[in-house]
A and B are shown apart, each in its own frame.
Chain A
Amino acid sequence: MKGMLQYVHGNTILHKVPPLLKLLIAIAICAACFSTRSLLVLLALIVLDVILGFIGNIGRQTLRTLCSLCKFSSIIFVLQIFFVTQGNALVTLPLGVRITDEGLRFSAMICMRLIGATLPLTVMLTLTRLPDLTRQLVKVLHVPYKYAFAFTTAIRFIPILARDMAAVIEAQTARGVELDGNFIKKLRLLLPLCVPLLVSSIRKIEAGAISAELRGFHLRGKKAA
């Protein structure tokens, strides 16, 4: 979780590719993931993502992201298996629950799509300086600066949120909230903890907006009076 989406400085080819092109490649890989139904192609796309990570000299980080994505999708995988009932039953559990070959295939596809679509975006964003991306969005695509700025700021908030969440979990564990238990229990305990997270994010956003205003953000794009 830590350091996710944070820009990693480097001198590789991928760092030099124009930000928009990088974003385009990432979106293309995402699109490919959602248009194919072949597990083999999906696997190839995921491998491609990892290779891109290694080219950008963030191989280890990419593998770590892949690892946490795998953990997350394994939960989805398990849930999904039970909802698909078409196909030939491989195992029949009590209460009429059947695990089918079609179910397995479908779950695997959903999970691999999820991984294959998330990974290129994280790799590309890690290799792109956000101000560069903002500049290109404005210059090349003629997106109004306000929106381009909002977009890149939102992306920048993700790692901050992740760090804050880790800190809140730490603080609440120190008080005796047992977050080292099972998943369902953890989820139930985590929900109220989102309050401090929300409060601190809103405070940060407010502070960010004020500081942007103070530096003359609203003057931008208007003719100097």
Chain B
Amino acid sequence: MIHLNGVHFSYEGREVLSGIDLDIASGEFVALIGPNGAGKSTFSKLLNGLNKPTQGTVTVAGLDTKKARTSALARKVGFLFQNPDRQLCRSTVRDELLFGLELCLTDKADIQARLDKTLADFHLDPALNPLTASRGERQRVALASLMALTPQLLILDEPTTGLDWRECMHTMELVTALNRQGATVFMVSHDMEVVRDFAQRVLVLNKGRLAADGTPHEVLRRTELLSDAALLPPQIMQLSLSLGANYDDIDTCEEMTESLIRRRLEK
């Protein structure tokens, strides 16, 4: 689905990404983590053609991003920006969704069906004005307008920042549902719990290179590597690591509770 070969990227001579090779298969759920300013947003924009590599090649859904027009890629790739306001430009949710749908589709009946389904899935009021809605709602509208198109690849730049727990879970459930239907998900996140719970694969970006690539279980345990990238594992993993021996394989609170109870019973 995604194929990066020796990719370098610079902004006006200042190199942000230096030498990245990466393959992501169709249907994977990948999280990208790293310190502020590491180039995570820059990296994500390489995947939908907004940024073109200064060196190397990026292939997404069979298209070379250097040759394909960004608008052609838009039909296959949905991109949720860090700041959803930039994406919203209509005064009702209904118009906003229609605007996105009509940009990429032509079949009227199909558009109407997708509109209705999305409004229902996202519990959105079609008459709501997204420009004056709350931050969580604006984010939901922006995501809805992308998901209505059922993209093959969904890129999310910090989708849960600024959302409360319920909104966060709701967003992640919708994303997971799309992922189960076969879409590839690429998510930038600062929330290690979200990464642990939803991603199948974690990439760590630090100093312009991929410092780690593996399952959350492996990567989030490498405390030294994470602290070098100004990151901390989820608290329960820190606890399990410091307890050592019989506990250091535990990722979640549920597993920890289970293990503690079992040990007590054994005694």
On A, residues with C-beta under 8 Å from B are 164, 167-168, 170-180, 192-193, 195-196, 199-200
Complex Cα gap A175–B74 (Å): 6
- Is there an interface contact between A180 and B71, defined as CB atoms closer than 8 Å? yes
Complex Cα gap A198–B51 (Å): 25
Shortest distance in angstroms between B218's beta carbon and chain A's nearest beta carbon?
32
Complex Cα gap A172–B74 (Å): 10
Q: Contacts A173-B74, A175-B103; is A167 near B69 (CB within 8 Å)?
A: no
Shortest distance in angstroms between B115's beta carbon and chain A's nearest beta carbon?
16
Q: Contacts A174-B79, A175-B74; is A195 near B89 (CB within 8 Å)?
A: yes
**Does B81 interact with chain A (Cβ within 8 Å)?**
yes
- Is there an interface contact between B69 and A196, defined as CB atoms closer than 8 Å? no
- Is there an interface contact between B85 and A200, defined as CB atoms closer than 8 Å? yes
Shortest distance in angstroms between A192's beta carbon and chain B's nearest beta carbon?
6
Residue in A167, A173, A180, A192 whose CB lies within 8 Å of B89: A192
- Is there an interface contact between B48 and A199, defined as CB atoms closer than 8 Å? no
Most chain A beta carbons < 10 A, residue from B79, B89, B90 = B89
Complex Cα gap A217–B84 (Å): 32
- Is there an interface contact between A171 and B103, defined as CB atoms closer than 8 Å? no
Within 8 A of A (CB), among B72-119: 74-75, 77, 79, 81, 83, 85-91, 100, 103-104
10 A-B interface contacts by CB (under 8 A): A164-B86, A168-B86, A170-B50, A174-B87, A177-B71, A192-B90, A195-B89, A195-B131, A196-B85, A196-B131
Complex Cα gap A175–B104 (Å): 8
Complex Cα gap A164–B85 (Å): 11
- Residue of chain B at shortest CB distance from A174: B79
Residue in A170, A177, A179, A192 whose CB lies within 8 Å of B86: A170
Give the chain A neighbours of B89 by CB distance below 8 A: 172, 192-193, 195-196
Residue in B85, B91, B103 whose CB lies within 8 Å of A176: B103
- Residue of chain A at shortest CB distance from B87: A171
Complex Cα gap A178–B75 (Å): 12
Shortest distance in angstroms between A202's beta carbon and chain B's nearest beta carbon?
10
- Is there an interface contact between B87 and A175, defined as CB atoms closer than 8 Å? yes
Complex Cα gap A180–B70 (Å): 9
Give the chain B neighbours of A172 by CB distance below 8 A: 86-87, 89
Shortest distance in angstroms between B179's beta carbon and chain A's nearest beta carbon?
20
Give the chain A neighbours of B87 by CB distance below 8 A: 171-172, 174-175, 196
Most chain B beta carbons < 10 A, residue from A174, A177, A195, A199 = A174
Shortest distance in angstroms between A160's beta carbon and chain B's nearest beta carbon?
14
Give the chain B neighbours of A170 by CB distance below 8 A: 45, 50, 86
Residue in A164, A180, A193 whose CB lies within 8 Å of B69: A180
Complex Cα gap A33–B16 (Å): 42
- Is there an interface contact between A176 and B86, defined as CB atoms closer than 8 Å? no
Complex Cα gap A168–B104 (Å): 18
- Is there an interface contact between B131 and A199, defined as CB atoms closer than 8 Å? yes
Shortest distance in angstroms between A52's beta carbon and chain B's nearest beta carbon?
23
Shortest distance in angstroms between A6's beta carbon and chain B's nearest beta carbon?
14
Complex Cα gap A88–B45 (Å): 53
Complex Cα gap A173–B81 (Å): 12
Give the chain B neighbours of A176 by CB distance below 8 A: 71, 74-75, 100, 103-104
Shortest distance in angstroms between B129's beta carbon and chain A's nearest beta carbon?
11
Within 8 A of A (CB), among B118-169: 131, 145-146
Query: Which 10 A-B residue pairs are closest in the complex by CB-CB distance?
Result: A176-B74, A171-B86, A176-B103, A174-B79, A178-B71, A171-B87, A195-B89, A173-B70, A176-B71, A176-B104
